[in-house]
Amino acid sequence: MADVTQDFFRSLAQRGRDGRLTAIHEGSVRFDINRDGQTDHWLVSIAEGGITSRSRRRAGTP
């Protein structure tokens, strides 16, 4: 079964440059998603309309 969270965050980067975001010179948002005793950390970065995302999983997070 596909992981919809992973699919969503990866699709952000695949969308390419978004002209509506060009006013944002640079910024990042971190999402911490808890499930099944683990926390996935997703970092979404925007730089002059370009979007990137990356993840890191930390096991056994309280």
Q: How does pLDDT run across 13-45, given as a tens digit for each residue?
A: 888 888 888 888 899 999 999 988 888 899 999
* pLDDT at 59 exceeding the cut of 70: no
Q: Mind spelling out the 3-state secondary structure of 14-50? A: HCCCCHHHCCCCCEEEEEEEEECCEEEEEEEEEECCE
pLDDT at 26: 92
Give the pLDDT mean for 31-60: 86
Rounded to 5 degrees, φ, ψ at 13 are: -70, -30
Extents of the domains making up the chain: 4-59
Laid out side by side, the sheet with 50-59 consists of 27-35, 38-47, 50-59
pLDDT at 61: 47
Report the predicted TM-score, pTM, of the whole model to 2 decimal places.
0.74
